[in-house]
Amino acid sequence: MNLATPEHAQIAFYQAFSAGDVDAMMSVWSERDDIICIHPGNAALAGVIAVRHSWDLILGQGESMQIQSTPIQTWATPESATLVVTEHILIKSRDVRGETLATNVFRLEGGEWRMTLHHGSPKPTEPTSNPSEPEPAAVH
């Protein structure tokens, strides 16, 4: 498994997700107990045991899934990286499709990039305004 860059680590994460391989997925995560995982609509799960258990439940359902990510934004320092993506999910057995927004944070540990945070949230179905852009002035 190639964890040489944050992007490679993220690819390995989504490959493990699509394969339903909890062991491969957990090999991307940091082994430190300060990791956090937030699945869409759920509480924050802290620590390796809780994070692994959540993925055991999700991937252990026997559903064949395909998941791809589209980058939105990346921030990086020499020791950490944050990647924001849109996840495109297909549950093959039911032909159900969906999208989520995810923030994935990686930390350089022993020469490899390890996931320390995965936060997924439902993608809005309606466009929202960008708070960094001023609202147009009202005309009277």
Domain boundaries, the chain: 6-122
CA distance 120 to 87: 9
Residue 124 has a CB neighbour count (10 Å cut-off) of: 9
pLDDT band at 59, cuts 50/70/90? confident
6-122, CATH topology level: Nuclear Transport Factor 2; Chain: A, (3.10.450)
Range with lowest mean pLDDT among 17-26, 48-57, 74-83, 94-103: 94-103
CA distance 41 to 113: 27
Tokens of 125: 């179905």
CA distance 105 to 32: 14
pLDDT of the residue at 60: 84
Mean pLDDT of 44-65: 90
DSSP labels, 26-51? HHHB-SSTT-EEE-TTS-EEESHHHH
Dump pLDDT digits (tens) for 61-83.
777 788 899 999 999 999 999 99
